[in-house]
Amino acid sequence: MRAWFILGVLLTGSFLPVIGQAAESPSDIWVVSGQSNACGRAELPGYEEHPLVQMFDGRKWIAAKEPLPLGGTVGPWMAAATETAKGGVGVKICGWASGGQPISLWEEAGGGWKSLSGQIRAAGKNAGVFLWYQGESDAVNGYGPDKYLEVLQDLASRVRKEAGNPQMLTVIVQLATFGSGSSQRKTMDIREAQRQFVLKDPHAILVTAMGRECDGTHLKKDGYFELGREISRALLKTRYGKKDVDWPGPVLDAAVYGADGKSVLAHFAEAKKLTGLDAADFAVLDSQGVVNCTKVLGENTRIALTLERAVTPPAKLVYGYGNGPKATLVDEAGNRAPAVHLEIAKGPPPPDMETKAPNGAGAPASKVAGK
């Protein structure tokens, strides 16, 4: 189990008391950043308020309410903070966000980084959580996923350094639908770059925005609230040590070729019984292009996918195919399955048994394939 998942990481940042131990006003600082969905674009009124939740108004900490001082209206953060506060954890929210901005704005010389780092210096010292919701502009503009990953890694490193917390937990919100269908591959690539960031970072978790109610550009209010509640579950489980919290949801973590060449057998971690499967959410990318899935049958933790043609290896199985997938996989707690690009391996099918994915992102292809 990763080091960030054990008790020691729970005590980094400003959240000082051991879980279950009495202390005065325990609280954790959350630093928020990103583009318009991080600002929040739903109409007021916002999520319910809580006395343990505060926000930084640019000069001082005050009782938090929406709109938060992030240049928007209603988003996911108040819902996440309030539900976390109900679990006994005080939350202080600060940060900077701006609509329509590419990740390059957060490079070290960029204006986004200057604004965000100023907020961290003013209110985010010893912060325990960095919440990042951005990438729509880069998907539409065809920004390379490898470059996106590189900039995101550098940004997280600078945020941790500025906050003075090298083990600061980074929460990546994986993109939902954005823009027209013509950008579908680009959106998929940014989603996968975000997942790869989490796989490579021992102090990061992934929560997807896919499958939430959306207007094609921004989540709607219910979508923001649903996302915020899942972020809260993720933090209560991984950072604040609430073992009875159900998170994450199903995560695609293994795939092998079927014997007939026109099928794939796949496995999802963090599932006891898969429901809500939709063939349109899956596709295979091989050397010839896209292979659509025509049928999906579920067992408990495994699925059998029937494809429209034979696959030409090497190939990857994609869950969350396209710009606007239905993303129907959700567990009983409301946790959504993230988008995954996974190398299809040769060999026996994965066992039909529950496995773990404590980062919410699954496992690297090399681990799944046993390389």
8 with 124, same domain?
A: yes
- Please check whether residue 27 lies inside any domain of the structure: yes
The reported pLDDT for the residue numbered 183 is 57
Residue from 356, 131, 363, 127 nearest 230 by CA: 131
- Please check whether residue 264 lies inside any domain of the structure: yes
The reported pLDDT for the residue numbered 11 is 37
The reported pLDDT for the residue numbered 185 is 78
36 with 164, same domain?
A: yes
- Please check whether residue 243 lies inside any domain of the structure: no
Its pTM surpasses 0.85: yes
Range of the domain at 258: 251-368
Among 238, 266, 287, give the residue marking a domain's end.
238
- Please check whether residue 245 lies inside any domain of the structure: no
- Please check whether residue 46 lies inside any domain of the structure: yes
110 with 255, same domain?
A: no
The DSSP secondary structure of 178-191, one letter per residue, reads: -S-GGGHHHHHHHH
- 3-state SS assignment for residue 345: strand
- Please check whether residue 104 lies inside any domain of the structure: yes
The reported pLDDT for the residue numbered 20 is 28
Residue from 313, 303, 320 nearest 345 by CA: 313
| Domain CATH for 25 | 3.40.50.1110
198 with 274, same domain?
A: no
150: CB partners within 8 A, 6+ apart: none
- Please check whether residue 52 lies inside any domain of the structure: yes
Over the chain, what is the mean pLDDT?
90
106 with 21, same domain?
A: yes
- Please check whether residue 170 lies inside any domain of the structure: yes
Domain total for the chain? 2
Distances in Å between the Cα of 130 and the Cα atoms of 125, 261, 291, 369 are: 12, 43, 37, 32
Residues of the chain under the 70 pLDDT cut: 1-26, 179-184, 364-371
Local structure of residue 140 (DSSP, 8 states): H
